[in-house]
Structure formats: C-alpha cells, structure tokens
C-alpha cells in the first residue's frame, strides 16, 4: 500500500513540479519588471498609470525590437548595449554565455539546410543533428582534424541545453528539410512535433 502511494506521489510530482516552477518563474519575472519600471511610469504618467502597465510596455517593446531588428540599421542600434556588455569584466562572461545559449536555441549558430539524420552503424537507430563543419580545413579548429570524407555534426539533447559534437563520415548522414531552429525545437521537446515537421520526417524516411 505504501509503495503504491509513493509511486503515485512521485508521478504526481512529475506532473505538478514543471507547472508550479514555470508559473513561479513567470510571476517572479513579471514582478521584477513591474518593480523596476513602475516608479518611473508613475512619475511620468501620474494617475494614468495602472498596475501591470510596466509588463504591457515590456511586451510591446520586445515585439517592436523583434520586428525592427530585421533592418540592418535597427539591428545595429539594438545591438549596442550587448556590445557594451561584451567589454565589461565579469558581465561579458555572463552576457556571452546567455547570448550563446539564446543563439543556439534560435538556430543562429548554424547555417540553413544543415540539418541531417545521422545513422548509427550496425543499428537501426538514427539521431537528428546539425552540421557545424562540412569540410576539412586548416587552423586550430575541428576542421583541421577532419578526414576528407568526414563532417562535424552537433547532436542536441532533449529537455536541456547541451549536446555532443561528433565526427562522422558524410555517407552516414542524409539531409532533412528542416531549419536548424525547427530541428532544435524538435529534439529539445523530446519529439513533440508539429504536423509540418512530422511530414518532413516521413518524407525523408520514404527516400
């Protein structure tokens, strides 16, 4: 009886903890933004201000930055604070690490049309990866270690930011019609995929 209760309790934790933690983190972020911006908004707007206005302002500003960053001039302007942080001791390490994670999550670190299925020799298993180096080169990089028929492929891991870079013969890979961002979302979610992605993978299996 006690064993069944413990198992049920553990399964309940698995369901509840991600929800509770996600909600608490979201509330903390919103409260932090409100506490930072509310005094300034109250001083400027006076009686027009209402609780939650700071959060609405941040959401709108974030969307505006996202839309405008498609233009080179605006992208250069929005990148100025980041370039300043990259010059400051300590902060440059923190900012650099966070930016690296966000760029990887967004697929910016990889070229388009670089998603492949890596077949594991001697098995019927395959892994989704993203080609990071596709030809032999010179210098202190992975490229200098490649053989002529090898490529470097980054294999992301599910439910976490991390993965492995493997060197494999190109013959053990086949291209997938996914963008790097779509491939990362697919693997990081543990295979919870959209109809579009499911169709691409199915078409690749039929080739």
Burial class (CB in 10 A: 0-12, 13-18, 19+), 116: buried
CA 170 – CA 177 distance, rounded (Å):
17
Q: What is the pLDDT of residue 139?
A: 62
Give the Cα separation of 120 and 128 in Å (integer).
11
pTM higher than 0.85? no
The pLDDT assigned to 205 comes to 46
Judge contact between 116 and 110, C-beta under 8 A.
no
Token output for 170: 């190109």
pLDDT in tens, 110-137: 555 588 899 888 888 888 888 888 777 6
Instruction: Extract the residue ranges of the chain whose pLDDT is less than 50.
Output: 204-207
Q: How far apart are the first and last CA of the chain?
A: 52
For 35-60, write each residue's pLDDT tens digit. 888 888 888 888 888 888 888 888 88
């Amino acid at each position: 009886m006690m064993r069944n209760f413990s198992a049920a309790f553990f399964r309940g934790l698995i369901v509840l903890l991600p929800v509770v933690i996600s909600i608490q983190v979201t509330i903390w972020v919103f409260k932090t933004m409100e506490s930072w911006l509310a005094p300034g908004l109250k001083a400027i707007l006076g009686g027009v201000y209402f609780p939650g206005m700071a959060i609405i302002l941040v959401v709108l500003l974030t969307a505006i930055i996202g839309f405008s960053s498609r233009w080179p001039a605006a992208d250069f302007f929005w990148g100025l604070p980041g370039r300043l942080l990259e010059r400051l001791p300590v902060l440059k390490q923190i900012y650099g690490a966070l930016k690296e994670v966000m760029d990887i999550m967004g697929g910016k670190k990889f070229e388009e049309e670089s998603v492949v299925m890596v077949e594991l020799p001697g098995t019927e298993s395959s892994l989704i990866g993203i080609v990071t180096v596709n030809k032999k080169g010179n210098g202190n990089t992975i490229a200098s270690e490649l053989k002529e028929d090898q490529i470097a492929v980054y294999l992301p891991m599910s439910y976490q930011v991390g993965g492995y870079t493997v060197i494999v013969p190109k013959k053990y890979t086949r291209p997938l019609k996914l963008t790097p961002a779509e491939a990362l979302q697919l693997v990081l979610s543990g295979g919870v995929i959209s109809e579009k992605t499911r169709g691409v993978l199915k078409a690749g299996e039929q080739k």
